[in-house]
Amino acid sequence: MADRTLRVCALYPDLMNIYADRGNLLLLERRCAWRGIGFAVTAAGIGDAVDPDAHDLYYLGGGQDRDQMLCAQDLVEVKRDALHAAAARDAVLLAVCGGYQLLGHSYALGDEEIPGVGLVDLRTVRADGPRLIGNVAIEVDLPGLGGPRVLAGFENHGGRTRLGPGERPLGRVLRGHGNDGHSGHEGVRRGNVIGTYLHGPLLPKNAWFADWLIGRALGLAEPLDPLDDALEEAAHAGARRAAGV
Amino acid sequence: MSPLRTTIAGGAARAAGGLSRLAGRGGTSLPGKVLLRGDPRAIERLGARLAHGSAVISATNGKTTTAALAAGILERHGERLVHNRAGANMAGGVAAALLHGDGELGLFEVDEFWLDQVVGALRPRATLLGNLFRDQLDRYGELETIADRWAAVAAGGAAGRLVLNADDPSVADLGRDHADALLYGIEDDSVALAEMQHASDATHCRRCGAPYDYEVHHLGHLGRYRCPRCGARRPDPHVRASAIELHGFDGSRFTLGLPDGEAEVAFPLPGLYNLYNALGAAALAHALGVPLATIAAGLEEGQAAFGRGERVAVAGAEALILLVKNPAGANGVLQTLAREAGPLRLLAVLNDQIADGRDVSWIWDADFDLLAGRVAQVTCSGTRAPEMALRLKYAGVPVERIAVEPDLARALDAAAAGAAGGRLYALPTYTAMLALRELLVARGAAEDSFA
C-alpha cells in the first residue's frame, strides 16, 4: 500500500476550527502514516478554488457565527460546483457541527439566512430554546462493517436541523440531543457525504470511524491493516461512558 | 432594603461559610450566594463601604496570578485589601470576600461572564482586562459573545479607568474611545514565536472584519498586529517589558517601563505568559497610584498563586503544579516546558467536571506536539485519563512512555516515584488541580489555600 496517498482538502482551516477540528485531521494523518499510506493536506481558504478531482476527502469543521457566515458565502460563490462534482465521483466529504449546517439548503438565524451548498436535503433553524450541549452517543450502521457500531462525542449547537423526506440520518441517538432534540436522528449520510454535530473531536474518540473514512476515501476493497489501538479503544470507552452508554 | 437586612443576610451567609468549610473544601462562594439571595444588592452595598474603592481584574487566562501579583504590590504600598484570593470569582465569590474582608481597598478577579454585573455593582476605580481566548465553549459560548459583553462594560462608564493589554487586539480595541485607557504590552521581538499558534482566536479585525497582519507573535493571537484594510493597529503601550531574558521555570529578567520611569526586574514566575500577568499587575498598580520602585519590588517578591506554578516537595521529587484549562493557557505552559533542558517527567490530569468544561476537545487544540521527543515518562490520570494519553500519543510521545492511571492518588505515587531526585511537572485541569492539592495538603506537602 506504500504507493497510496490520502489526499485531504481542509476547507477554511483558519476559520472553521472551533471545536479542535485539527484533532480530526491529526487522526487521519497519523493512522495513514503508521500504515505506510501517504498523507497530503491542502488548505482551501476564502477565495481559493477547489479541484474536485484532486482530493479523496474534503473536511469542513465548525466556526463561530461570524466566521461561519463568511465561509458560507464563499462556499456558495466559489466552491459549490467543485464540491458537487467531488461528491458525484464519491469522494468523502465530512462536515462537522457548523460545517454540517452548511451542507444543506440554508441555516436561518432570526432574520438572517445563511445559504448552504445543497449537497443534501436539509434545513437548519436557530431556535429560541437553549443550545443543545452535552456528551452524545449514536448508533450507526455503515456499509462494510457487518453490523451497527457506536459513535461517541460532544455536541454544542443552537441550530435545529431537519432532514428532508428522502434523506437518511448518520445515526440514531442513544444519548444526547442529535439533530433537533426530539427526532432521534443525528447527522446525515448520503453515500460518502457525511454531516454530524459530533465533535469532541469526533475521530480521536472514534478511531474506528477514522479508519472507515480512510478506506472509503481510498476506495479500498479490503480492510486496513490493524494497529495497536489500546489507547484509542480506552478513549472511545471513556467518551461512551461520559455519554452514559 | 434596609441595612438590617444586609446584616441578617450576612449572619446567615457567615454561618453557611462555616458549615461548608467544615464539610470539606472550597466554602469560598457559598456564603456569598446565601448573602446575595437575601440581599441581591449586597455587592453594591458592601463595596460602597470600601474607603479606597476597588479594582477589578478579568481575563480568560491569568486572573488569579495577576490578582496575586497586584495584591503583593498594593500591600507593599500599605493598602489593606479585601481580595477574593482563592479564586472564587463569580458574584458569590466577590460577595463572600466583601462579607469576610476587612480592608480599605477591594481587589477582585472576576469571571469573564460576570464582569458586567460585578462592575455595575462595584463601580471600581480601575478595571484590568488581560486577554480573551477560546475557553470552555460548553460553559462560556463563543468568544465573540464575551467580547461583545466586554465592549458593553467598557462603553458603560462604570468600569473606572480601563487597563488593557495592547497585544490582544480584541482587548486593546475596547479602549478605542477612552483617551485615558492605560495600555500594556511587550516591546521585545527577541521573545517572539516563529509563527502564530493554532489556538489563536481574535485573528480578524474587530472594526472591519479583515484578517490582521502580524509583525510579531508572542502567545496565541497576542502580538504586534495591524489591519491592512482599515488601518487599525496595536496601540503603543504605556507600560512595557523590554530587554527580556526568559529563564524557564526559574522566571525571567526584564526592563519594566512605566510612564514615570524604568526599572530592572528579576521576576520569579515562569514563562512569557506570567510576564503578561506581571505587566498587567504593574499597570493596574500604576493606575491606582503606586510608584515605580514599589511596583518593581513587589514583582520581584511575586509568588505563584496556588496551583499556578506552585512548587511542592513530594516523595523525593519537586513537583511543579501548572494548571492547564484551555488551549492558550496550556500553550503558555507547554512553551515554557519545551524550553527546559533534559527529558521531562509529567503527570497530566484531565477531568471533565463542570468547572473543567464537560467538553474535553480543547486538548486537541493545545500544542502538546511541543513535547514530542522530550518526554521520559508521563502518567495520565483524571476522569478522562485515556483521552489525555491518546492526545500525547498523537502528539508524538512514544506509547511505552505513557501510563494511564485514572486514580489520582495512585497516579501521583507512580509519577513521583519515577521523578525521584528530580522534578515532576504536574499539568492538572481545574478540578484536578483542587483534588491534587487536597491530596498534597493531606500529606502535609502543600498549604491549605482555603484555611
At residue B108, what are phi and psi to the nearest 5 degrees? -130, 125
Number of domains making up chain B: 2
State the pLDDT confidence band at B416, using cuts at 50, 70 and 90. very high
Task: Report whether A206 contacts B354 (CB < 8 A).
Answer: no
The alpha-carbon gap from B147 to the nearest alpha carbon of chain A, in Å, equals 13
Residue B209: CATH number of its domain: 3.40.1190.10
B222 and B312, same domain (yes or no): no
ipTM: 0.96
The rounded percent of chain A whose pLDDT value lies above 90 is: 89
The alpha-carbon gap from A133 to the nearest alpha carbon of chain B, in Å, equals 7
B274 and B131, same domain (yes or no): yes
- For residues B302-322, average pLDDT: 90
The alpha-carbon gap from B353 to the nearest alpha carbon of chain A, in Å, equals 10
Closest residue to A234, CB basis, from B142, B203, B386? B386
Interchain proximity B394–A65, CB inside 8 Å: no
The two counts, helices (H) then strands (E), for chain B are 15, 17
**Is residue A97 flagged as an active site residue?**
yes
The rounded percent of chain A whose pLDDT value lies above 70 is: 99
Is B304 a residue whose pLDDT tops 90? no
CA-based nearest residue to A211, from A37, A17, A18, A22:
A37
Please report whether residue B447 resides in a domain.
no
Interchain proximity A20–B352, CB inside 8 Å: no
- At B132-158, the pLDDT tens digits run 988 766 666 677 788 899 999 999 999
- Find cell 461517541 and name the residue: A152
- In one-letter notation, the amino acid at residue B145 is T
CA-based nearest residue to B105, from B125, B120, B121, B119:
B125
B341 and B280, same domain (yes or no): no
B88 and B204, same domain (yes or no): yes
Q: What is the pLDDT of residue B25?
A: 41
Q: Give the list of residues 6+ apart from residue B419 with CB closer than 8 angstroms, or none.
A: B317, B319, B345, B377
State the pLDDT confidence band at B206, using cuts at 50, 70 and 90. confident
Instruction: Give the span between the Cα atoms of A232 and A165, in whole angstroms.
Output: 36
C-beta neighbour count of B161 within 10 angstroms = 17
Q: Which chain B residues touch A199 with a CB distance below 8 Å?
A: 359, 361
- At A136-178, the pLDDT tens digits run 999 999 999 999 999 999 999 999 999 999 999 999 999 999 9
Of these residues, A97, A157, A177, A236, which one is catalytic?
Answer: A97
Please report whether residue B37 resides in a domain.
no
- At A65-85, the pLDDT tens digits run 888 998 999 999 999 999 999
Instruction: Give the span between the Cα atoms of B127 and B109, in whole angstroms.
Output: 10
B290 and B372, same domain (yes or no): no
Please report whether residue B1 resides in a domain.
no
Chain B residue whose CA is closest to A31: B394
| Burial state string for B435-446 with b = 16 or more CB within 10 A and e = fewer than 16 | bbbbbbbeeeeb
Please report whether residue B22 resides in a domain.
no
- For residues A32-58, average pLDDT: 97
Q: What is the pLDDT of residue B451?
A: 38
Please report whether residue B47 resides in a domain.
no
CA-based nearest residue to B349, from B421, B417, B420, B437:
B437
Interface residues on B facing A, Cβ-Cβ cutoff 8 A: 134, 137-138, 141-144, 198, 203-204, 209, 327, 352, 358-365, 383-387, 389-391, 393-394, 399, 402, 404
Output DSSP code: residue A226: P
**Residues of the domain holding B173:** 53-94+105-300
Among B300, B332, B354, residue at a domain's last position = B300
Beta-strand ranges (E) seen in chain A are 5-11, 38-44, 57-60, 92-96, 106-109, 112-115, 122-126, 132-140, 149-157, 159-163, 171-175, 185-186, 188-190, 193-196
Closest residue to A204, CB basis, from B137, B362, B364? B364
Closest residue to A19, CB basis, from B137, B204, B393? B137
In this predicted model, which residue has the larger pLDDT, A121 or A18? A121
- For residues A111-130, average pLDDT: 93
**How much is the CA Rg of chain B, to the nearest whole Å?**
21
Among B300, B320, B347, residue at a domain's last position = B300
Residue B260 CB-half CA count within 13 A? 13
B295 and B318, same domain (yes or no): no
Q: Give the list of residues 6+ apart from residue B444 with CB closer than 8 angstroms, or none.
A: none
Counting every residue written for chain B, the total comes to: 451
- At B356-379, the pLDDT tens digits run 999 999 999 999 999 999 999 999
Q: Which chain A residues touch B387 with a CB distance below 8 Å?
A: 204-205, 235, 238-239
Q: Which chain A residues touch B330 with a CB distance below 8 Å?
A: none
Please report whether residue B46 resides in a domain.
no
The alpha-carbon gap from B360 to the nearest alpha carbon of chain A, in Å, equals 7
Average pLDDT value for chain A: 95
Instruction: Give the span between the Cα atoms of B424 and B311, in whole angstroms.
Output: 10
- For residues B245-272, average pLDDT: 95
> What is the per-residue DSSP string for A135-166?
EEEEEE--TTSSS-EEEEEEEEESEEEEE-TT
Output DSSP code: residue B306: T
Among B300, B318, B342, residue at a domain's last position = B300
Task: Report whether A84 contacts A119 (CB < 8 A).
Answer: yes
Mapped onto helix, strand or coil, the DSSP state of residue B407 is coil
Residue B422: CATH number of its domain: 3.90.190.20
B320 and B406, same domain (yes or no): yes
B290 and B416, same domain (yes or no): no
Task: Name residue B424's beta-bridge partners.
Answer: B319
B210 and B350, same domain (yes or no): no
Task: Report whether B254 contacts B232 (CB < 8 A).
Answer: no
Q: Which chain A residues touch B390 with a CB distance below 8 Å?
A: 204, 231-232, 234-235
What domains can you pick out in chain A, each with its CATH number?
A: 5-243 (3.40.50.880)
Is B29 a residue whose pLDDT tops 90? no
Q: Which chain A residues touch B393 with a CB distance below 8 Å?
A: 231
Is B1 a residue whose pLDDT tops 50? no
Interchain proximity A64–B142, CB inside 8 Å: yes
- What's the CA angle centered on B363, arms B361 and B365, to 5 degrees? 85
B290 and B325, same domain (yes or no): no
Q: Which chain B residues touch A201 with a CB distance below 8 Å?
A: 361, 364
Interface test with A, best of B390, B404, B405 (most A CBs within 10 A): B390
Most confident of B176-185, B301-310, B439-448: B176-185
CA-based nearest residue to B276, from B372, B173, B164:
B164
B279 and B412, same domain (yes or no): no
CA-based nearest residue to A229, from B28, B165, B386:
B386
Mode of pairing for the β-strands spanning A122-126 and A132-140: unpaired
Please report whether residue B377 resides in a domain.
yes
Instruction: Give the span between the Cα atoms of B159 and B151, in whole angstroms.
Output: 11
Helices (H), A65-111: 65-74, 80-88, 98-101
B203 and B79, same domain (yes or no): yes
Instruction: Give the span between the Cα atoms of A50 and A79, in whole angstroms.
Output: 6
- Find cell 439548503 and name the residue: A105
> What is the per-residue DSSP string for B67-107?
HHHHHHHHHHTTPPEEE-TT---SHHHHHHHHHH--SSEEE
